Amino acid sequence: MKTIFEMSSPGRTGSSLPELDVPVSSGIPEEFSRGKKTGLPEVTENQVMRHFVNLSTMNYHVEKGMYPLGSCTMKYNPKHFENLARLSGLSGIHPLAPEAMAAGTLEIMYKLADYLCEITGFERASLQPAAGAQGEFCGLMLIKSYLESIGEKHRNEVLMPDSAHGTNPATSTLADCVIVGVKSNEFGEVDPDDLREKAGPNTAAFMLTNPNTLGLFESRIEELTSIVHKAGGLNYMDGANMNALLGVARPGDMGFDVCHLNLHKTFATPHGGGGPGAGPVTCTAELAQFLPDPVVIQNKDGSYSLSKKQNSFGRLLAFYGNTGVLYKAFAYIRTLGSAGLREVTENALINANYLKARLEEYFDIPFNNGPCMHEFVLSGDRQAENGVKTLDMAKRLLDYGFHAPTVYFPLIVHEAMMIEPTETEGLEDLDAFAEAMISISRECDEKPYLVTDAPVNTPVLRLDEVQAVKELCIVEPPDEEGQ
């Protein structure tokens, strides 16, 4: 499709501003003046609408169909919450307005922090992290601050299973820690013996996703967290898979010291094509004194204010978090309550196990020793015998009107396809997806070219990623006039 720049014609505009109602001052001094155009397009409002609406039709999205994306929890995003976050009283407030004049937002933030602590079994929270990865950074900084406070600053090793999300090692590097890999055992769970061997006087933290990225609950969790505590380290839970535990079990009860949540996964706030998310962190009372500045507190008179702490490790964003996202997650918890949250998890588990049962005849399922939690991992090994890669099957699913699953992750499964249907799909949706997968597995046997040529029913065919890197075009080149 043409870019917005190619639609530009001098003199067109989509803007409408009042006339300047004050006398013109002397203007920008010559030496600071730009003196040339910016290169922004010149288009009318209706052109802009048509352009972006046409672009939008080339996107797959939750309201078009199912996203079986493992560890991403692509559930339905309730419409009402979009309206609520847009109430002018909530969206139109300046972050530095006097606290008494932002009482409504502060109340929501205070209550949301309280609810998230209740859901995860912790004492205190920070709503500041903008996304899961920033929540991980927050968590490791809390742990480092705590260790420093007890004279254990030298501890710099983060223990991490080989099935960890990529953000875990990247965050550890950002937090100036060294990664020590921990093996998985034949059940797809962390090997306690290996953890025992690796944990020691330099252990700062153990970072674990639970349920893990195979969709399995770490059944020996008590043993794992106590090994780390005995070694003098702390336990961090990556809450990416919290959709499996709502109202069912709490990380705070299992020996974890801190966890982050992905509100854009578990708490139904939209993914926005890649963001904004929100990655609040909840933690024990011991770690609370180090939380990032500021946090919302309730005063004796019942009012709310922003408080700075003496021992805070610092600040993650200019302000207090992705507030507009927080509003929606708060609305979600208020809509569902305790029973509704548990219902989410129960149906997420039922849906995942049903799909697994429907597909196990047709695909290899490593570590399949019983029920999974909210997701499961297939291997495309069987289909690979016909020269079809997992990536091909993922692309073929696009032709069938589904989004692809998460592929080639976790790294410990060959030709992995990680499938998480979420609770907001129904039996008919799951059956349709299963039929598509079964049909593709047949194609792999009978007409593999259909799969390796896929997708063919999409707005563009398979794109050349190598060319994109080699020829690196990441901005539209300037027109003849320059910018």
Partner 1 sequence: MSRFIQNRGEHTEEMFRVIGVKGISDLLKSIPLKYQLKEDLDLPDPASELELQREFEGYADRNTGADKICFIGAGAYDHFIPAAVDHILLRSEFYTAYTPYQAEVSQGTLQAVFEYQTMIARLTGMEAANASMYDGASAAAEACLMAMRATRKQRILMAGSLNPRWADVVRTYLKRDDFEINEIPFLEDGTLDLEIAAKLIEGGTAAILVQYPNYFGLIEDLQPVADLIHEHGGLLAVAADPVALPLLRSPGDAGADIVVGEGQSMGIPMSYGGPYIGFMATRKKLARKMPGRIIGRTSDRADQEGYVLTLQTREQHIRREKATSNICSNQALMALANTVYLSLMGEEGFREVSNQCFHKSHYLQQKLLEIPGVSSVFADTPFFREFTVSFPVSSLDIHDGLMKEGILAGLPMVELGEGVMLITATEKRTKQEMDLYVKIASDICCGGGDQ
- Positions in 59-118 near partner 1 (CB under 8 A): 59-64, 67, 69, 72, 74-78, 80, 82, 84-98, 100-105, 107-108, 115, 118
Instruction: Indicate whether 285 belongs to the interface with partner 1 (CB under 8 A).
Output: no
Cα 91 to Cα 81: distance, rounded to the nearest angstrom:
13
| Smallest separation (angstroms) from partner 1 to the CB of 45 | 6
Task: Provide the mask over 164-193, with x wherever binding to partner 1 is found by CB under 8 A and - wherever it is not.
Answer: -xxx-xxxxxx-x--x--------------
Q: Residue written as tokens 């912790």?
A: 122
Which of 205, 242, 325, 440 forms a contact with partner 1 (CB under 8 A)? 325
Site for partner 1 in 404-433 (CB under 8 A): 404, 409, 423-429
**Cα–Cα distance measured from residue 449 to residue 189, given in angstroms and rounded to the nearest whole number:** 37
List, in sequence order, every beta strand (DSSP E) within 191-256. Answer: 203-209, 234-239
Q: Minimum CB separation from partner 1 for residue 465, in Å?
A: 5
Amino acid identity, position 87 = L
Kindly state the tokens that stand for 213.
Answer: 């990225």
162 lies in the binding site for partner 1 (CB under 8 A): no
Using the minimum distance from each CB to partner 1, give the nearer residue, 358 or 382: 358
Determine, following the binding rule CB under 8 A, whether residue 1 of this chain makes contact with partner 1: yes
Restricted to residues 227-246, the positions that interact with partner 1 (CB under 8 A) are none
User: Is residue 361 near partner 1 by the rule CB under 8 A?
Assistant: no
Residue with tokens 């539209």: 476
- Which one-letter DSSP state was computed for residue 291? P
Q: Which positions from 247 through 276 interact with partner 1, judged by CB under 8 A?
A: 247-250, 253-254, 262, 264, 268, 270-276
Q: Decide: 47 and 12 in contact? Cβ < 8 Å.
A: yes
| Interface with partner 1, residue 299, by CB under 8 A | no
Interatomic CA distance for residues 106 and 180, integer angstroms: 40
Is residue 302 involved in binding partner 1 (CB under 8 A)? no
- Which residue of 151, 285, 301, 460 would you call a contact of partner 1, by CB under 8 A? 460
Q: Is 384 in the site for partner 1 (CB under 8 A)?
A: no
Exposure of 338 in the CB half-sphere (CA atoms within 13 A): 6
Q: Binding to partner 1 by residue 310, rule CB under 8 A?
A: no
User: Exactly one of 335, 442, 447, 449 binds partner 1 (CB under 8 A); which one?
Assistant: 335
Write down the H helix ranges in 235-389.
285-288, 323-359, 381-384
**375 binds partner 1 per the rule CB under 8 A:** no
Q: Which of 68, 132, 161, 410 binds partner 1 (CB under 8 A)?
A: 132
Query: Which amino acid appears at position 274 of this protein?
Result: G
Dist. CA 128–CA 381, nearest whole Å: 42
151 forms part of the interface with partner 1 (CB under 8 A): no
CB 290, min distance to partner 1, A: 12
471 sits near partner 1 (criterion: CB under 8 A): yes
CA atoms within 13 A on the CB side of 469: 3
Which residue in 398, 420, 425 sits closest to 409, CA to CA? Answer: 420
Q: What is the rounded distance in angstroms from the CA atom of residue 218 to the CA atom of residue 224?
A: 9
201 versus 337: smaller Cβ distance to partner 1: 337
User: Binding to partner 1 by residue 147, rule CB under 8 A?
Assistant: no
Peptide bond before residue 161 is cis, with ω within 30 degrees of 0: no
Strands 416-419 vs 376-379: parallel, antiparallel or unpaired: antiparallel
